[in-house]
C-alpha cells in the first residue's frame, strides 16, 4: 500500500480502494515520503476504524506520542474485548492511549492522580476493574512501572465509558439529567439543606447516579443482604429515609448494596449541606 502520511518514524497512514489504515511497526515511517510504498514486512499492528472522527484523532495522537502507548492501549483493549460482554466504542483507542501516555508522564514527574471512586468501580464493575488490574501488570511488564491499584479504577472508567457512550441517545441523556435533578431536589427538600454543587460530595453523588442509571437494567433484584446496611440505617436514618424516597420516585426496589451506597452518598450531601 502507498503511504498517505508519515505519522512518526514507526507509524504511517496508508490507503487502498478509498479505505485508510494506520500501520505501526519499527521503522515503518523512517526516511519515507508520502506516495512511496510502505514496507508491510515491518507491520506489528494495523488499525482500521469505522468512525472517521476516531480515526483522525488517533492519527493526530500518533504524531505526538511514542507508539508504545497506542500499542499498550491496543493490548489492554484486546483483553477487554475477550473478557467483557458488551461492544466497545472505537473512541476507546484514543482515550485510553492518551490516558496511558499522560499517566506515565505524570508518574515520572512524581505526580499521582487518585481515583476516589475506585472502591465503587471495583464493587459495581468487577470485570472492568479486573481488566484494569491486568493492564497494571502489562504496564509493569512493558514499562517497568509499578502503579497503585487505584489506577485500575481509572482504566476501568475508560472501559465503562466506552461501553456506554454509544448507548445513550440525546433523549436518554435528557431523561437521565432530569431524574438526577429531581433526586437532588428531593434530597434537598426532605433534609432542608442547600446542596453545594461545587463540592466533591455533589460530584461523586451525580457520578454515582449516572452509573446507576446506565446499569439499571442489569441490577440484581432479590433478597441478597449486606449486613453493613443495618449499621448505616442506624447511623444515618435521615439519609436512609431519603434513599427510600428515591426508590419510591424511581418505582424500584433496590438490593442492599445499592441501598447502602446510595444512602452513604446522600449522607455526604447532608453533611456538606
Tens-place pLDDT, residues 170-182: 446 678 878 989 9
- Alpha-carbon 171 to chain mean position: 22
Tens-place pLDDT, residues 133-168: 999 999 999 999 999 998 999 899 889 878 755 455
Quote the cell numbers at residue 84. Answer: 467483557
Query: How many angstroms separate the Cα of 167 from the Cα of each of 172, 185, 193, 229?
Result: 9, 27, 35, 32
Q: Between these two residues, 9 and 114, which has the higher pLDDT value?
A: 9
Instruction: Calculate mean pLDDT across residues 18-45.
Output: 90
Q: Which of 29-43, 209-223, 258-272 bottoms out in mean pLDDT, i.e. has the lowest?
A: 209-223
**Domains of the chain, first to last:** 1-48 (2.30.24.10), 53-167 (1.10.1790.10), 170-272 (1.10.1790.10)
Cα 73 from Cα 79, distance rounded (Å): 10
Q: Between these two residues, 168 and 39, which has the higher pLDDT value?
A: 39
0.75 exceeded by pTM: no
| Closest to 27 (Cα-Cα) out of 42, 7, 44 | 42
What pLDDT does residue 223 have? 56
Question: Across all residues in the chain, what is the average pLDDT?
Answer: 86
Amino acid at each position: 500500500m502507498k503511504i498517505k502520511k508519515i505519522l512518526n518514524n514507526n507509524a504511517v497512514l496508508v490507503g487502498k480502494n478509498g479505505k485508510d489504515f494506520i500501520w505501526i511497526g519499527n521503522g515503518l515511517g523512517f526516511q519515507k515520503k508520502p506516495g512511496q510504498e510502505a514496507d508491510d514486512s515491518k507491520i506489528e499492528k494495523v488499525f482500521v476504524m469505522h468512525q472517521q472522527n476516531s480515526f483522525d484523532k488517533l492519527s493526530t495522537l500518533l504524531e505526538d506520542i511514542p507508539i508504545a502507548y497506542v500499542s499498550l492501549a491496543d493490548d489492554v483493549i484486546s483483553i477487554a474485548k475477550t473478557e467483557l460482554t458488551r461492544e466497545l466504542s472505537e473512541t476507546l483507542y484514543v482515550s485510553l492511549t492518551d490516558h496511558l501516555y499522560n499517566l506515565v508522564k505524570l508518574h515520572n514527574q512524581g505526580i499521582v492522580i487518585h481515583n476516589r471512586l475506585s472502591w465503587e468501580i471495583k464493587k459495581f464493575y468487577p470485570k472492568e476493574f479486573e481488566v484494569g488490574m491486568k493492564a497494571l501488570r502489562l504496564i509493569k511488564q512493558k514499562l517497568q512501572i509499578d502503579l497503585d491499584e487505584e489506577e485500575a479504577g481509572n482504566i476501568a472508567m475508560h472501559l465503562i465509558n466506552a461501553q456506554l457512550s454509544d448507548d445513550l441517545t440525546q433523549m436518554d441523556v435528557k431523561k437521565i439529567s432530569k431524574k438526577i435533578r429531581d433526586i437532588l431536589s428531593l434530597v434537598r427538600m426532605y433534609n432542608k439543606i442547600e446542596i453545594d454543587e461545587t463540592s466533591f460530595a455533589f460530584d461523586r453523588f451525580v457520578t454515582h447516579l449516572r452509573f446507576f442509571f446506565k446499569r439499571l437494567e442489569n441490577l440484581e433484584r432479590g433478597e441478597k443482604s449486606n449486613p453493613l446496611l443495618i449499621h448505616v440505617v442506624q447511623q444515618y436514618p435521615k439519609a436512609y429515609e431519603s434513599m427510600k424516597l428515591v426508590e419510591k420516585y424511581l418505582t424500584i426496589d433496590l438490593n442492599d448494596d445499592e441501598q447502602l451506597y446510595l444512602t452513604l452518598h446522600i449522607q455526604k450531601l447532608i453533611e456538606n449541606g
